[in-house]
Structure 1
């Protein structure tokens, strides 16, 4: 006996509209809510970044873009207060990161 868990039996009843709605529902469920940092978290973030910039240490920054998080590791080349960004020198090159995209900073030992 084939153990298909009913996929063969009910697969014929799906139409493209159902699959589109199911994929939209799954993508909405995977989205994380927008999280604003508290004042204490912002102070910790600022302290970690300024320590890494002063000492030239390696730092891992977590960047938030919409509902996607990305980790970047490198040294802080320059902090540009006028443009509200910092320049991170990574293995693949320099990246300009706006302050508003920063989520978390962790000094590497």
Structure 2
């Protein structure tokens, strides 16, 4: 079995600019485009959030922020339509446009 050291063996022959561009390229490769939700998906997302809020259920939100998707879990404390934001009981705030998915735990 071949045990390769990857880029480590090539670092001596690379210019610092090349190493910098390789690191930037690797970081950019991890970025995720914001998912575009159609009208039906937005309606379903809205209904799921409303039901979870009314019944006090724990939810797992998929949030797109800074070109990454991360998950946040908690119970919805407030749906602020005026400011277009959702608040969890632990004080975290998420704007509606950044919420791309929701899962309810019953």
Task: Please give the range of the TM-score, normalised by the shorter of the 2 chains.
Answer: 0.7 to 0.9
CA contact (8 A) 2:63 2:100 kept: yes
Equivalent position of 1:106 in the other structure: 103
* 1:36 to 2:11 alignment: no
For residue 38 of structure 1, report the CA deviation from its aligned partner: 1.2
Structure 1 residue runs of 5 or longer lacking an equivalent are none
Matches for 1:1-109 after TM superposition, within 5 Å:
8=9, 10-89=10-89, 93-109=90-106
Q: 2:11, 2:95 → 1: CA distance?
A: 47
CA contact (8 A) 2:61 2:73 kept: yes
Superposition CA RMSD, Å: 1.8
Q: Specify the SS of the correspondent of 1:94.
A: coil
TM-score (normalised: structure 2): 0.85
After superposition, give the CA deviation of every residue in 1:14-44 in whole Å (9 maximum; x if it has no partner). Answer: 1111101111122222222232111111111
Q: 2:91, 2:100 → 1: CA distance?
A: 19
Q: 1:36, 1:4 → 2: CA distance?
A: 40
After superposition, give the CA deviation of every residue in 1:25-75 in whole Å (9 maximum; x if it has no partner). Answer: 222222222321111111111011000011111111111103111111111
Q: 1:22, 1:50 → 2: CA distance?
A: 45
For residue 12 of structure 1, report the CA deviation from its aligned partner: 2.1
Q: Specify the SS of the correspondent of 2:18.
A: helix
Q: Specify the SS of the correspondent of 1:77.
A: strand
Q: Which entry has the higher C-alpha Rg, 1 or 2?
A: 1
Report the count of equivalent residues.
103
